[in-house]
Structure 1
């Protein structure tokens, strides 16, 4: 078990740095994923675009979180305790980043799980009525 909460804070800072590093290849794997799903039935460009937009925001937020955490590790390495203002600020930013990452995952689920689209209207933010009608008429929502 950790001796005190300062050990836990520093471990959390390192975890945020690692998450920021892992996020980079995860984000860029989306390019290959688009090539796979864009021609599938019931996949529209607007759904893919919405997911990518949120994924970009998540990437930026998690990279900033990682950089702030790394800065904290080095700026406060000589101190016995990290300043409380820094810890609270980092925690708030981590919560926001986690929310964005969760929303990105939800939007990805909408791409592949077409069964939830009609029931959960709030998930279909950018889906237009014409996209839906095209998908119903042709059985394929994606147009080139």
Structure 2
């Protein structure tokens, strides 16, 4: 059983992210789950360095840059050179990007309700605790 844990976690993550991306498209929101993770971090702080976004989303710089470039092309974010340090790119939301917060979070909630259907609060919290412990172990 333990040898299948990594595969099960990976398969579950893909199913959840694909379900969320599909839900976005069905509701006319043209972003992917990966793009959502970048936007979600910006909705909480409004401006972050590209490097910090990569760290927060557990992605390498190249993947983060690709996602950011797509979000810029879709006019959801802008990239600005930091005034104090020209080597740093600050990523900021546009009005269009900020306006997606409410509808996107509503759809995320709908997906999570479907994902946890049949589970009670205690089971959900045990699952969250398990995943947090695994995450902490991997970050040591």
Question: What's the TM-score once normalised by structure 1's chain length?
Answer: 0.26
Higher strand share: 2
Question: What's the TM-score once normalised by structure 2's chain length?
Answer: 0.26
Higher helix share: 1
Over alpha carbons, which structure has the higher Rg?
Answer: 1
